[in-house]
Amino acid sequence: MKPPRVPLILRPTPLHRLPRLSAELGIDLWIKRDDLTGFALGGNKGRKLEFLLADMVLKRTTAVVTCGAVHSNFIRQLGAACSIRGLRCLALVMDLPFEPGFEIANVGVGPGGNRWLNEWLGVEVHELPNGSWDELFAQTEDLAQRLEAEGETVYRIPVGGSSPLGAYAFFEAAEEIRTNPFFDSIICPSSSGSTQVGLSYALHGAQTHVIGISCDPEPDLLEELKRLCYGLDDLLGLDRRVAAEYLNLRYDFVGPGYGVPSPEGLAALELMARTEGIFLDPIYTSKAFAGLVQMVRQKEIRGRVLFWHTGGIPSLFTVPPSARIQSAEIAID
């Protein structure tokens, strides 16, 4: 049985060919436009929130608590979803939360972007000094418990909304490409993992290979993806037991670290904009597209390839074009 949903997005999102990049790269390149979901400035998070918001309503939630980086796309769209149901939305954020050993020093995170949009939406943002993800998680749970002590019915949402319900949204989204031409590969950004997991789970056993480009250096991320797959088994009453080795997660395009643009990603952003007139974001989709171009150059992928554009456009307004590094332009065979 399908989980209940509160309609938020426009579906199916556009799917179309990129003719100029196809000619330049020597592949048949297509793009899935989840940047055009139509909810709260677009992006893939609206898919997850349809199911998460329905669950909140069923559980008579009064306050929603989550956490993440200060420019989180999920927090922005969560704030919009809570607004339309009159729910309090509280988010604990750090500029650049990190895993121990992956600290990022001397990198500033600018104003604007999602930081300002959250204020328009009324999200109750609590900004903390940079620290580890575990520290952020602990303080988020403390906040949730304090709210419960005050009488709120609290709904806890993990980073990025990546729960089995969140992954289910992309299991379902895979149906939007089944009636179109066969794809040899699907490339998507991967961080909290629900996009990659949902697509991989839906296409498990198919000839289409889903490749996630990690935007986070966390070494345990693959295990998190595996746990999400098992959660989908439980949610759907299936026993696919998608093995970790089937989840193709590439770490070689992370760049300086989580939440920080990479030179290669900024060059990829410029390439997409100046070739097809489509904007990528500097944190997720630009790194994923840089990975796609590099894999094509190294003959790792070929044929008909789909790039899943997950959105994140507000982050463009935190990184000036002068940040791009010309020496890191992507070479194309």
Residues with catalytic roles: 72
Q: Which residues contact 289 (CB under 8 A, 6 or more apart)?
A: 187, 265, 268, 269, 271, 272, 280, 307
Among 111, 67, 117, smallest CA distance to 93 is for: 67
Among 202, 196, 252, 254, smallest CA distance to 225 is for: 196
Torsion, CA 193, CA 194, CA 198, CA 199, rounded to 10: -50
Measured CA distances, 10 to 43, 74, 173, 242 (Å): 11, 17, 12, 30
Tokens 């900004």 sit on residue: 127
Amino acid in position 76 = R
d(CA 293, CA 288): 9
The strand ranges marked E within the chain are 15-17, 28-33, 63-69, 88-94, 124-128, 154-156, 185-190, 209-214, 248-250, 304-309
Task: Pick left, alpha or beta for residue 279 (phi over 0 → left; psi -120 to 50 → alpha; otherwise beta).
Answer: beta
d(CA 61, CA 65): 11
